[in-house]
Structure 1
Amino acid sequence: MKTIYKLQRNIAYVLLSASLFACGKSLDKPTPDTSIDLEKIQPGDIPLLLRGAYRPNLIYYQPYPIWDVYSDDIISLQGSTPTQYNPRSYDDCNPNIEDGFGNARLYAASYTAIGNANFIINYIKSKGVTNMNSILGEALSIRAFNYYRLAESYGGVILTVDLETDINQIRRDKNTEEEVYKQVMTDLEEAIPLLEDFKTADFISKPTAQLLLARLYLQLGKNKEAFELSEAVIKSGKNKLEQSDFGEVFRFGGKSSEMLWRLSETITSYERGGLYTMYSPPPPFRGSSMGLTWVDPTLVESYESDDIRASLLLKRRNPTIGENVTYLLKFSTDTLQASSNASIVYPMVRIGEAYLISAEASARQGQLVLTRYNELRKARGTSQKTTSDISDVNQFIQEIEAERRREFVGEGRRWQDMKRFGKAIPFLKSKGRDETRLYLPFVTTELTKNTKLTQNKGY
């Protein structure tokens, strides 16, 4: 009989935590230092374990904005002590290895979700369960998404897909970035035929996994494959671009079908959570925001006057610096949620990305095809482009980059875009940094737990 152990505050803990749930009605709520026999899990428990995989960390807002603040989209003067989430250090492209909130939460939450997914995947496969294809597909996609996020953030990381109980197999050095991406690709390719069509953005569906794989293909230069998958998502017809109220996409109870996958949390106190505490203006807006995080003015100026996305930008005077700045309201309870329903939406995958992946993948194959690009712009209320407006595919790729900035600001995609479009290293140099800052450091607590783990270069 195999027993899966939870080891508190240890890399083994986050890798195995699925698992590591106490028996009963709260299998999705792990507690430290408990164990459960594999044989004691029943098929009816698996949906609860899946819930735990979707929600490995109830404080989403701390790791979510890291790469936006790191990039050229967002400016943040908000600073705190090194052991707390410190946006200023990310704005300087100089994350602190002592950061126990933003960076450390990203790392721990990802591995917690991976541990949960590993348990589900291995249980279904080892037991030969034949009526849980969709759950298996969701677990594979969750594992893929979190390894993808880890690889984007750290490069190589420890890759574990089994229910490993030997601590010596966990406390080791990292796999290569290429090995991690290969596993992500394998998981998503296996998941896609298992998943159901889109029904709700609260769960991973077939088009969600297809678009995640298209995103990876594009990042790896597999442009033909990225184009085909993005087109499949668009043509599935389940999700539509929002054409009038862009805020509808981000409302918890909104009717827009544009969101393919989201995470959400219900805030019981305006002063204790939600991305609006990071991005919103200071009072009289709700929450405890100091108003020290705003959108880059060059990006703000790039929106056309009729662009519906600009409705979620608000210019007002910042009393701390004595200047007018522009705040991002995608996550604001003031503009998007009723006070009786403070459920904050965190976008993971949206249909708009399929249109821009399709356009970019075509351009990177030497084809100047504006159709999908213009369809997105039309839905957003902006002007249409013709081939006479664009000299060649290289200029078109630059136009797509600018459109992605307008579309996804605040949604965690910009830094990876900057790497793909060749903007990351010049930006780092402007900050007095070099290519070693393309990735985050492993925090001190992880290096202490696992002495075989090699720190990323430059830290």
Structure 2
Amino acid sequence: MNKIIKIGLLSLAGAISTVACSDDFVEREFYQDVEQAPLKTSQEMQAFVRGIYTSMRTTAYYGADFLAYAEVRSDEMYSTLAGGYYQNVYNYTMLSNDPYAVTTYNQIYTAIAKANIVINSDLGAIQGTSQDKAYATFAQGQAYGLRAIAFFDAFRLYGQKYTPGGTLGIVLPLKYDPKALMPRATIAQTEAQIDADFTKALQIMTSSAALNYTSASNKTELSVNALRGMMSRYYLYKGDYAKVRTLTNDLVGKYTVATAGLLQTTFQFVMNGAAPNSIFELAVGTNASLSTGSYRQRLNPLGYANIVVSADAYNSYSTSDIRRGLITVSGGVRYLSNNNGTGKYTNTVGADNIRMLRYEEILLNGVEAELNGGSAVTALNYYNQIVTNRGLPAATSVDMTMLKSERRKELLGEGLRQWDLRRWGDAVPRPAGVSTDQRLNAFPIPRGETDLANTPVVSNPGYDN
């Protein structure tokens, strides 16, 4: 990471006061010329982890934009360009100074920088009791896991895995040094680092001394179960089906698929953290509400009405499928959010927790992994757990075509579709008249990175830098 980013870090007073309330966590920024001191208490370690969540839930990251990128470049949703949002993303006309490319890059690497401060803290210097040290150790494990997620997200957006002849991944800073000059790693090196971070996180977080720090019932912290679920997502994209099968098996039975009658409720504000199918959420809360910057505002007809469901996706649902009712059709346009409480993103003040991972995704990951070297019987079992709770009859067999269709119907609008299409090698539709240059599948590396004196960072081909 080459550019100096002002990181929203916590002062000690802020750290102690906000540890217990991640819903309303508010960043306090150090001045740029203040060097970050080593962390010395479990409270500081935990507070910095909460600071990572704060970066992740911003509008430019999981709060809206990162999810939108995967939807407007897919076959299930598209941008109406209302309000000017996502115009260059949707039309593949981004430049190296495009605000989306820049702000999302900055937020991802800010999260990484915060994680690095926790990861590189000396656990031997942590003050307090043995329990305090165990909490600090667990927080360090969480930081490894969150860094892996952030590296994976940056890799999908800015890496060249889905561009013809591409060999480059992303910059991989492993310690907080805002003045460091680092080149981009290769695709293989990037994937290896993500794997190493996930592996280290699981090793630390499952250690006996720290295991009681958080549990599966705490949905707004990266628990061991949430970590395994996010690893499942990564290894599915990597094509490591054996690992996906193992991780799925570790989670099966620990959560339940939302029933037809409960599905809508699981997406509503009142169910934050309580839904039986929720594995991991980013806490928002009213004080930190994203308001007009929320994903809901991009989807809602009384908001910006910018991202809407394609006719093909809507028509893929049978009339008996309960998920069809999550989509509101008005004036011939199909919306995934509405002010009457219908849809997946419904809170009018933008204070909904951000659903990072649902049990249904884990089962679908398991179906795909079992269909690729595993058990057809197990795949069918996972598949039927979902479809029978959506008002559909149980299937007698399942194949990849059915799995692909079911992923689109179940995970509609949740920020996964573009990446599914790309990893399968399936066509990703583009608007009529748009450039067909496949190099533009990757976002541009921001000019602020490539224009620095003596920078080793090279741009992605097809752009203006």
1:45-64 map, 5 Å: 45-56=44-55, 58-59=58-59, 60-64=63-67
Cα distance, 1:138 vs. partner? 1.4
1:190 aligns with 2:200: yes
Among 158, 170, 181, the alignment partner of 1:157 is 170
Structure 1 residues 171, 402: CA separation in 2 closer, same or farther (over 3 Å shift)? same
Specify the alignment match of 1:321 in structure 2: none
1:447 aligns with 2:446: no
Query: Which amino acid counterpart does residue 356 of structure 1 have in structure 2?
Result: L
Specify the alignment match of 1:3 in structure 2: none
Query: Which amino acid counterpart does residue 344 of structure 1 have in structure 2?
Result: D
1:105 aligns with 2:103: yes
Cα distance, 1:415 vs. partner? 1.1
Structure 1 residues 400, 94: CA separation in 2 closer, same or farther (over 3 Å shift)? farther
User: With structure 1 as the length reference, what TM-score do the two structures score?
Assistant: 0.82
1:381-420 map, 5 Å: 381-387=391-397, 396-420=399-423
Specify the alignment match of 1:175 in structure 2: 185
Determine the C-alpha separation between the residues in 2 that align with 1:69 and 1:425: 10
Determine the C-alpha separation between the residues in 2 that align with 1:356 and 1:35: 47
Structure 1 residues 425, 278: CA separation in 2 closer, same or farther (over 3 Å shift)? closer
Cα distance, 1:443 vs. partner? 2.2
Moved more, 432-441 or 197-206: 432-441
Query: Which amino acid counterpart does residue 296 of structure 2 have in structure 1?
Result: Y
Residues 198-225 of structure 1: per-residue CA shift (max 9 Å, x gap)? 1222111111111111222221221111
1:234-383 map, 5 Å: 234-235=252-253, 237=254, 239-243=255-259, 244-254=261-271, 255-266=274-285, 272-282=292-302, 288-289=303-304, 291-317=305-331, 324-329=332-337, 334-335=341-342, 342-365=350-373, 367-369=375-377, 370-383=380-393
1:143 aligns with 2:147: yes
Residues matched between the structures, number: 417
Determine the C-alpha separation between the residues in 2 that align with 1:37 and 1:343: 31
Cα distance, 1:90 vs. partner? 2.1
Determine the C-alpha separation between the residues in 2 that align with 1:250 and 1:273: 18
* Contact kept in structure 2, 1:122 and 1:162, CA below 8 Å: yes
Determine the C-alpha separation between the residues in 2 that align with 1:39 and 1:264: 27
Higher relative contact order (CA 8 A, sep 6+): 2
Determine the C-alpha separation between the residues in 1 that align with 2:102 and 2:158: 12
Determine the C-alpha separation between the residues in 2 that align with 1:40 and 1:143: 18
Structure 1 residues 277, 333: CA separation in 2 closer, same or farther (over 3 Å shift)? farther
1:116-135 map, 5 Å: 116-125=114-123, 127=125, 129-135=133-139
1:222 aligns with 2:240: yes
* Contact kept in structure 2, 1:70 and 1:93, CA below 8 Å: no
Structure 1 residues 94, 345: CA separation in 2 closer, same or farther (over 3 Å shift)? farther
Specify the alignment match of 1:11 in structure 2: 3
Query: Which amino acid counterpart does residue 175 of structure 1 have in structure 2?
Result: A
Determine the C-alpha separation between the residues in 2 that align with 1:127 and 1:299: 54
Specify the alignment match of 2:163 in structure 1: none
1:95 aligns with 2:87: no
Moved more, 90-99 or 436-445: 90-99
Structure 1 residues 445, 207: CA separation in 2 closer, same or farther (over 3 Å shift)? same
Specify the alignment match of 2:22 in structure 1: none
Cα distance, 1:352 vs. partner? 0.7
Determine the C-alpha separation between the residues in 1 that align with 2:458 and 2:38: 36
Determine the C-alpha separation between the residues in 2 that align with 1:256 and 1:130: 29
Cα distance, 1:13 vs. partner? 2.3
Cα distance, 1:136 vs. partner? 1.9
Determine the C-alpha separation between the residues in 2 that align with 1:298 and 1:407: 15
Determine the C-alpha separation between the residues in 2 that align with 1:270 and 1:190: 33
Structure 1 residues 198, 422: CA separation in 2 closer, same or farther (over 3 Å shift)? same
Cα distance, 1:126 vs. partner? 5.8
Residues 339-375 of structure 1: per-residue CA shift (max 9 Å, x gap)? 6x75123221111111111110111227533111111
Specify the alignment match of 2:231 in structure 1: 213
Moved more, 135-144 or 448-457: 448-457
* Two-structure CA RMSD over aligned residues (Å): 2.9
Identity of aligned residues (%): 21
Query: Which amino acid counterpart does residue 297 of structure 1 have in structure 2?
Result: A
Specify the alignment match of 1:393 in structure 2: none
Query: Which amino acid counterpart does residue 425 of structure 2 have in structure 1?
Result: G
